[in-house]
Structure 1
Amino acid sequence: MASRSASVSADRSVPGLIVKFGNYPLHHGGVGAIRSLGRLGVPMYAITEDRWTPAAASRYLTAGFVWPTTGTERAEELVAGLLRIGDRIGRPAVLLPTDEEAAVLIAEHADALAGRFLFPPVERELPRRLASKQGLHELCVEHGVPAPATLFPSSYEEVEKYAGTAVFPLVAKNREAFERRRRPAVSGTTRIPDARRLLELARGWGPSPGVILQEYLPREEAEDWIVHAYFDADSTPQALFTGVKVRSWPPHAGMTAHAYIVDNPELAAMAAQFIKQIGFCGIIDLDWRFDRRDGRYKLLDFNPRMGAQFRMFENEAGIDVVRAQHLDLTGRRVPEGEQLAGRRFVVENIDLPALAAYRRSGYTTPHAPARATGTELAWAARDDIKPFFTMCARLVRPGVRHLWQMWRSRRRAAAAAAGE
């Protein structure tokens, strides 16, 4: 790692700022970005929920800005907060959003943020459309990109009619990424086994369901693939990586827990062509599912920002997507190199439960290498170990609090009984 980092010449006068809205302190992607640029000598700043997040504990963090948000604040309020942080940093910084809310806000308020910050000149409306399940599906249809068959119901009556002809099981997802921060109709990706269960759920979706109903791709007939990349202002890839997901948490529908870099030229070409067609620039995190039944890769999700597992992907020149963006936006050349095929990524706190669940299901990924060429851990790093221990403490604290409350309640009960 040290030798590859040494070959990357970053502009150390331009800091980076991790931008996140909402309460999710255990986010390893932000920690990875702080380490990635911090190891190059780039000053790193981050928005954090409090002073005790893993990101705030990183030795590579110059300063953290404690700013608790929900992601549902008015855009004007969030922009004003970002500008205040920009004033405190005192020089233009490269923005690195870790969620859709931040990516969309930056694109839609680029005029207000320009000058204080550096970010890709993406089309104003594009990130919101890509983050929307409906918007993404429409773009896939428009440009001939395979995607699961999808329905966007506008009423309960439409769901009721669909239930009579639908092929089950199917999955339900929230139509807009932002719904997860408000009152989501469903919790994440929900597998629906039959028509009776579909109608039960639909009764709670209101007169205008904010969901999509999507074809279920059987896990025994599918493989989960990932594409991470950085595209410049001309929608030309400066860094593009492909990998296969071995485990996720929750199983088959959640965050990557264990994955490998695997060369997939066909998928890389598909992703690059799609990005060129829609004119996107910036960092992307794409989820694809290979359907063995028809031999096609189907695009499931488009995250117009860095993914939590981006540090899995690095090339021989030491470039990941975050470094590629910083170099490009500061006028530096992005070194080329082959991706480090076989490199493994493990998220320590969720891979153990994922491993147990996948062993019970018998699911395997044929394209996963038999042996890793190297391993990148999400939390533990020899040169920056405090975020790992902070993560562990935050995981343990709710359990300790629960035990403490139980002990106190039992003491009170015992004291009350003794007084009777």
Structure 2
Amino acid sequence: MVVGSTYQKLTKPNPRTYIGSGKVSEIKSAIHALDVETVIFDDELSAGQLRNLEKVFGGDVRVCDRTALILDIFNQRAATHEASLQVALAQMEYQLPRLTKMWTHLERQAGGQVKGMGEKQIEVDKRILRNQIGVLKKELETVRKHRKQYRNRRISVPVPVVSLVGYTNAGKSTLLNQLTGADVLAEDKLFATLDPTTRRVQMKNGKEFLLTDTVGFIQKLPTTLVAAFRATLEEISESSLLVHVVDISHPLSEQQIEAVDKVLSELDVSSIPRLIVWNKVDKASDPQKIRQEAEKREDVVCMSALNGDGLPEFCNAVQERLKDSMVWVEALLPFDRGDLLSTIHQVGMVEKSEYTAQGTFIRAHVPLRFARLLTPMRQLCASRP
């Protein structure tokens, strides 16, 4: 329960306490007056700043920075083994420089002719933590290898992959559920999805694509989390199309779009085609105005993932964008390769098919990796009289 909030304008943060001494005194008074248990700073604090603030505010008050808060939320949302490993690693790497001298009475005493103190307890704690971090990294590497094997298996099947990206709570999981009937957790809360979920989507015209739901982004996403969730974010780089889901009803939607674009630029996926979905249009103050604005742009689709409004337009837009990521082929398929013909109709876009004495002549847009399988047939087509 939030009992109060405050802010301060400074040219640069105070190196000792992040905020000025007057503001520290003001917050301390408020803590005692309102019986506060936790003070949250909307920025990352250094280990020294955390210690100094906790000393001033008193031992019973927890000082929590933005990164610690996000890690706490991630810890509550982690539902699978992979997510738990990723969060645990990020938490330990965050804690390592922030360990305090809590157990000085356990420090080893000097013995024999050696002068001075023995090993300090904080050094023991840091060594234990570093060992645990090493173990977690090895476990995560195993998880990454398994995920890569699954991706390679998917790549061998020529179905395009579409990744849902966007700010946390924008409606990505709701859209996945609406399209596929997948029972993915979709709640009105931050970071409800931590693990990528991939489902097959079949449209009414028989075309198919794989849809992947990814972890939600946030402004000033801690670098430790970006590193820990690398396996999750790697899914994005393997996509044929990125669908950027935006909560257009949110008052800060522009800032949220910028935050997502910033993370995507760090992942180096600028070459992947993108489609923008303005979600929750029905909740906006002026839905008609938003729809008119979207019509002026070629890369935007309006919809409400919760009630399915705009879903056909979304599917059509995805199909058009996937066409851009495909390559044009002309191939002569032997009659005994009916399986290839069926797959082209399923994952590609056929412009013309013609039955000849040598086989089926086909002209179509197909995914690049599938076009490579057709290379012998394309050569055969080129040599055709």
TM-score w.r.t. length of structure 2: 0.26
Larger proportion of helix: 2
RCO (CA 8 Å, sep 6+): is it higher in 1 or 2? Answer: 1
* Bigger radius of gyration: 2
Larger proportion of strand: 1
